[in-house]
Structure 1
């Protein structure tokens, strides 16, 4: 019986990843800094975990997560207000599959897509 999923994405620099997700996206850290090669972050009901991959070429990173949300318009506006860069091809749109979605890239080019059913 499956109950949760916590995606694991690559990070090149733990401090930079923490700063982006905590300061820009409003996540908080789970656990401690006892593990220099691993990071766990949480916001509302989701967790994202990160593993150190210092050598990853961001042009070759295909890490991606689809995050279901409620009140996507408010979330999108709050990110714009916080000057979070939205993916150039990922502004908020209603898709043919009846989702309102937008996307952004984190500092390691992990693609985060946020979506809400309509």
Structure 2
């Protein structure tokens, strides 16, 4: 057994805009489930889907939100793309990138960029 440090999942705090309740509702449409909420109205919430855990934090700074980008690795990207079709960013349609993965992009209500990606079994 190794005593070397090992990193686990990453759970980023992301700006949710001024209305965390609206952000929660948006992420629930993407298949996430709210597992924790603080404040009334909420100033922070945790949403989860499978191994992806996001902390939504009230922050109306559009520059911060527009500069925030997350990459979420998935299995079954074509099916997920069909499920999220109505939320795809204008130039975020599913495509295979030159560096290997198939990916698509969604912008959340605050402007945070969510890139869902999958490597085919022979590229990674």
- How many residue pairs were aligned? 113
Structure 1 match to 2:12: 7
Among residues 84, 89, 94, which one is paired with 1:87 in the alignment?
89
**Alignment correspondent of 1:102:** 104
Aligned equivalent of 1:49, options 48, 55, 67: 55
- Structure 1 pair 15–62 and aligned structure 2 pair: CA distance change class (3 A): same
Larger radius of gyration: 2
Q: What is the alpha-carbon distance in structure 2 between the residues aligned to residue 74 and residue 102 of structure 1?
A: 12
Specify every segment of 5 or more residues in structure 2 that has no aligned partner in the other structure, as ranges.
1-5
Query: 8 Å contact 1:38–1:49 — kept in the other structure?
Result: yes
CA RMSD of aligned residues (A): 1.8
Scaled by the length of structure 2, the TM-score of the pair is 0.83
Q: Which of these residues, 24, 27, 34, is aligned with residue 29 of structure 1?
A: 34
**Displaced runs of 4+ in structure 1, greater than 4 A?**
none
**Residue segments in structure 1 that go unaligned for 5+ positions in a row:** none
TM-score of the aligned structures, taking structure 1 as reference length: 0.87
